[in-house]
Amino acid sequence: MHHAPGAMEPEPPQFPALRALVIASPVLSALPSPVVPRPAPLHNIATTPEPLYNMDAMPESPAVMDATPESPAIMDATPEFLAIMNVAPEATKAIMKNIFHQSFNAYKTDIEPRLSEHTLHHMQCSRKLFEIMLSYRRVSGAYIEGDNVAVTVEGEAARVLNFDTGCGVNLGMRGLESLGMFIYRTATALDQNDVFEALSAKIQHSRHVAETFRKSGLASAMFE
């Protein structure tokens, strides 16, 4: 069978591969991540979509980084911490790298490998991360349009989930229940609308976990 030259149908345009950045607490980041082929949909979650924040459309934000050892992966906007406003991009990147370097090594024991100076100089850092409203702990996910990156925080770094009760209850584990579906939906996204829907569902689940704990209290979480 012969085909005429140029008779092949053009391939349909494809949405570029999306990168997902997950910022997890030190406790949760040490746990193995199970491979979930296709997680079952979550239940008892409000259907009202959560607001999503397009980083390119946001004004300059006075977000700052919380450099205390207790929360190395959390950005904060409180005045007592280091302010990152009107700083040159290169200076901002250097500040962010140094904070990450110090806080990352603070959680390492003597037998664990630490982040070296050589690795620090080869780290890639996006200045736009400072503008994410995660710094206010008001949302647990965001999409950076220019870099095509979805960002989500987990465990102790998420909203009112930023604590371990000390009673064997770590609510951050419940937040991970929706992570498998989030990764699946972003990996199979065909356009930005699919990405926004995946982020909306992820934010809804984080809010649902927080609201449930606030209503039922610690006792209910301990004796489930």
Confidence of residue 149 (pLDDT cuts 50, 70, 90): confident
Structural domain span for residue 161: 19-27+51-222
Instruction: Say whether pTM exceeds 0.75.
Output: no
In a domain, 4, yes or no: no
* Rounded alpha-carbon distances, angstroms, from residue 137 to 10, 99, 108: 45, 19, 26
In a domain, 13, yes or no: no
In a domain, 142, yes or no: yes
Residue 195's nearest CA partner among 148, 160, 157, 146 is: 148
Name the one residue in this structure whose structure tokens are 């220019």. Answer: 146
Cα–Cα distance measured from residue 140 to residue 6, given in angstroms and rounded to the nearest whole number:
49
Q: Which residues pair with 64 in a beta bridge?
A: 76, 83
- Rounded to 5 degrees, what are φ and ψ at 142? -155, 160
Query: Which position has the higher pLDDT, 126 or 197?
Result: 197
Model pLDDT, residue 87:
46
pLDDT tens for 163-210 read 455 565 666 677 778 888 888 888 888 888 888 888 888 888 877 877
In a domain, 197, yes or no: yes
Residue 111 CB coordination number (10 Å): 5
Query: Which position has the higher pLDDT, 91 or 9?
Result: 91
In a domain, 177, yes or no: yes
Residue 129's nearest CA partner among 99, 107, 105 is: 99
Domain count, the chain: 1
